Every structure is written in C-alpha cells, then in structure tokens.
Amino acid sequence: MSGHNVWTHKGTFLLAAVGSAVGLGNLWRFPYLTGENGGGAFILVYALTIFAVGIPILIAEIMLGRTSRQSPIMGMRHLTKTHGTSRAWETIGWLGAASAFLILSFYSVIAGWAIHYTWLMLTGSLVGADAQTISDGFDALLAAPGLMTLYHTLFIAASALIVGMGIHKGIESGLRIMMPALFVILLVVLAYGVVNGDIGAAASFLFTFNIADLSLEGWLQAMGQSFFTLSLGMGAIMAYGAYMPSDVSLTRTAFAVAIVDTAVAMVAGLAIFALVFGAGLETGQGPGLMFVTLPLAFAEMPFGALVGGVFFILVLGAAISSSISLIEPVAAYLVERFDMTRPQAVAIMVIAAWAMGLLTVVSFNIWAEGTIFHTLFGRSAFDFIELLTNIFMPVGGLLIALFAGWALTQSEVMKELGTNVNWFKLWRFLVRFVAPAAVAFVFLRTIPQVDGYLIPTLGALLITGAFAASQRWLKKPRQTT
C-alpha cells in the first residue's frame, strides 16, 4: 500500500476511532442506562464486557483493516483470496458498508436537530422558557419536514466536505482540531454543572453500587452498549485500520479507545445529570433528554444560553466525528473499485444517504402513521431502518470475530499484535468463543419482535448459519493440479 494512505501521525488512529465511537449514544444513552441499572454495578458489567467482547472484536476489526490495507469490502475480498477461504466471508465488508450507509441516513437527521438548538441557545430564544414552551418547540421542530430537511442537508454536507478533502487534509486535520476541542468543551460544561448544578446527586445516580437494581435486562443492555459504543461491525474501524501505521500497537490502541470512550460517557453523564438534578428535573434518555430536559435546565441557570450553545456545539462535534467515519467505508470502496476521485465517491455516498434520510424526516410527521411500513412491519420507516442496523452490526461483529479467530494464522496475528504468547492465547480464546457467544446472546435477547416471531427467527437463522458456515467457509478449497 502506498505511503500517502497511512496516517501521518501515530496518534491519529486513536483520535479517529474515539471520534467514531464518541457520538450521541455517549451523551444521551449510556449515562441514563448506568443510573437506572444499579450505577456502579452496571459499570462493572460494562467494563467486563468491554474487556471480554468489545476490545477483542475491536482488535480483530483493526487487524483485518491493517492486514488488507483496503476498504472493508475490497479488504475482505483480498483476505479471502490470500487465506484460501470461502468468498462468503466478503459478507463482513458488505454488512459493514450497509450498516454505515443506513446509520448515516438517520444519524444525520437527528444530529441536525442540534443545529436548531445551537441557534436557539446562542440567540437567547429559550432564556426563562417554561417546560411547556420547550416541549412544544421540540414538537414543532418534528412537525416541520422542511426545516428538518434543511438541517439534515447542512449536517451531511459538512461531514461530506471533511471526508471529501481526503485522508490527511480532511479527516486527519479535522479530527486533530475537533477531538481536543470536544474534550475541552466537555470539561467546561462539567465545571459549569459543578458550580450551577447538583454534582453530588449526579455522582450518586451514576456511581452508587446497587446490585439489586441490575436486572437481566440491565446486564444485556450493558453488554449491548459495550458492543455498539465502540462502532464495531459497521466498517468504520476496519476502514480507519487500513490507514494505521504498522508499528503502532494494536492492543494498547484498542484499550485506549475503550477507556477514552467510556471516560467521555462518564464525564458527559456527570455534567448532564448535574444540570438535570440541579434544575429539579426528571432523568430520561434519548432525544427527550437532549432536546427538552437539558434546554429547560439551561433556561433556568445563569449564563445558561451561552453554555447551552457551547454544549450543543459539543453535540454537533461528537456527531460529525461519528458521521465522517460512516462515510469513509463506502467512499473508500468506490474509490478502489471504480477508480473514482475521492470527491466523486463521497458525493455519491452522501447524496444516496441524504435521500434515504428523507424517510426518517417524514417518519416524524407526514408518514407518522398509516404507511406501508406500519402495515408491513408495525413501525415507522425510521424505526425499521434502525432495526436493520441493529441486525447488521452484531452479525457483522460476530463474523469479524469468527474470521479473525479462525482464518488468520497464528504467525500473522502475532506479527500484527506484536505481543507475548499469553496475550495472544487469551485474545484468541475470547475472539473465537466468548465474543461470538456474547454477541449472539445479546442480539437474540434484545432484538424487538416484529409480527411475533419474524425477527427472532431471522436472527436465530442468521447466527446459526454464521456458526455452522464458518467451519465450511474456513476450509481451504482443494487445489487442482
């Protein structure tokens, strides 16, 4: 692989992977799940699962990218040829690309809402507003497809501009400015929460070790969160791994990504819930927490408009760092496969994802109910697209673990890991047996049902097929002389 396609700085992969991993889920999902499921007990389960499932698959995915030095689809094509395995393993690349495309389509719409709230905050429109006013304002945004389309367009265009400028000028330069800025803003919001909020209540909510509150569903959510938070199974990590210098430690980098990602979620949780408890509001998660509860907390606090504006800039930055990682796997494939220029490839990917995103836009208003999606699947177009990604990503992660664990040779893995035999043995045991079993278990337990048994049955067939086929796929075809 030519030198211009390797990160110029050793630390860039870490910034890129953390940028991909740190997104809206860190800010609105993880803190809430932690508080509701036993605090410290949830964090312990999460940490154990990150070590036993998340990090082994993260190492495997980076390894596949760095070994092939190509986009996920072309990279898996190359690896199946060089390892004499079935071409069916190319599914890994296609699942990753499909997940990235689908996630980008709806992620851009939801991230676009942060543009709206950044403007409302910085112009002081919400100062002193009451709960009803803020709630009605959010409902009005969701009821305005034209406005949502405008924000969706602005957000996805900004992401496309960064990726279109190339690996070094675009992604690398963008991340080197954006990620440190995000960490600084997060600390500023935390300091503001300490001064103006109730940091004691937030710390108690997040960190009190209460095993009684940790149900089986809580365990599953901790395991699921540990997988989804690291951006596994959607091609981004494999695409970024292809640009990773050969002398950078895979193991140290993977642990660093997991630690930084978790730390950001914890600090964000402390900052957010300090403000929520300080304003005497109810805890929640998802868009309601981000776009109703928090604006209400900022509306009642000194300098709330300014800090609220800064906070929504943080939300936008976290979302853009994730969205550029979603564009890269497909754009890189188009460049390699069809010899396109990078701007052409990015334009095709982004215009297609933008068009798909319009389904999400109308899911909240014009097509809120009574559409073909509701008739066929009992859910909106947005919910259906999200459901597909919740199937593709775990299956992709499962196959990555199986391929890296069984198809790659010991000498190859040792060379990439650059580590001792004991860590190699532990990693291979985790990636061959523990990680696939855990991902399969979480996947089958947490996929919501559609028409009774359709999705669980489909999931069971996919996973059973993956396990059964993995042995057949791995057998080298006989060479005929």
Q: What is the DSSP string of 326-375?
A: HHHHHHHHHHHHH---HHHHHHHHHHHHHHHHHHHHHHTTTTSSSSHHHH
Is residue 477 over pLDDT 80? no
The residues near 420 (Cβ < 8 Å, ≥ 6 apart) are: none
Contact 406, 475 (CB under 8 A): no
Q: At what angle do helices 91-122 and 304-338 cross, to 10 degrees?
A: 150
Token pair in block for residue 478: 């006989």
What is the rounded CA–CA span in Å between residue 332 and residue 471? 30
DSSP state, 90?
G
> Does residue 401 surpass a pLDDT of 50?
yes
Nearest to 376 by CA among 443, 448, 454, 462: 454
Please tell me the distance from the alpha carbon of residue 375 to that of residue 377, in angstroms, as a whole number: 6
Residue 88 near residue 469, CB atoms below 8 Å: yes
Partners of 209 in the β-ladder: 39
Task: Give me the pLDDT at residue 478, please.
Answer: 37
- Best CA proximity match to 402, nearest among 48, 49, 88: 88
Classify each residue of 397-431 as buried b or exposed e, where b means 16 or more C-beta atoms within 10 Å of its C-beta.
bbbbbbbbbebbeeeebeebbebeeeeeeebbebb
Residue found under tokens 């391929």: 403
Cβ atoms within 10 Å, residue 119: 13
Reduced to 3 states, what is the DSSP secondary structure of residue 209? strand
Residues 6+ apart with CB under 8 A from 254: 55, 58, 59, 62
Q: What is the largest CA-CA distance in the chain?
A: 81
Please, what is the Cα angle at 471 between 470 and 476, to 5 degrees? 105
Q: For residue range 344-390, what is the model confidence (pLDDT) as tens digits?
A: 999 999 999 999 999 999 999 998 777 777 777 778 889 889 888 98
pLDDT at 26 over 60: yes
CATH number at 12-475? 1.10.4160
pLDDT higher at 81 or 369: 81
DSSP secondary structure string for all residues of 424-437:
HHHHHHIIIIIHHH
pTM of the entire predicted model: 0.90
Q: Provide φ and ψ at 480, rounded to 5°.
A: -95, 135
Collapsed DSSP state (helix, strand, coil) of residue 466: helix
pLDDT at position 479 over 50:
no
Q: Quote the pLDDT of residue 405.
A: 94
Distance, CA of 309 to CA of 122 (rounded, Å): 5
**Would you call 200 helix, strand, or coil by DSSP?**
helix
CA distance 34 to 30: 6
For the chain, the average pLDDT equals 88
pLDDT digits (tens, 9 = 90+) for 163-208: 999 888 899 999 999 999 999 999 999 999 999 999 999 999 999 9
- Residue 207: CB partners within 8 Å, gap ≥ 6? 39, 40, 43
DSSP state of 380: -
Element (H, E) at 214: none
Closest CA to 328 of 80, 19, 24: 19
> What's the count of helices (H) and strands (E) in the chain, helices before strands?
24, 0
42-78 pLDDT, tens digit per residue, is 999 999 999 999 999 999 999 999 999 999 999 999 9
311-329 pLDDT per residue, tens = 999 999 999 999 999 999 9
User: CA triplet 134, 138, 139: central angle to 5 degrees?
Assistant: 115
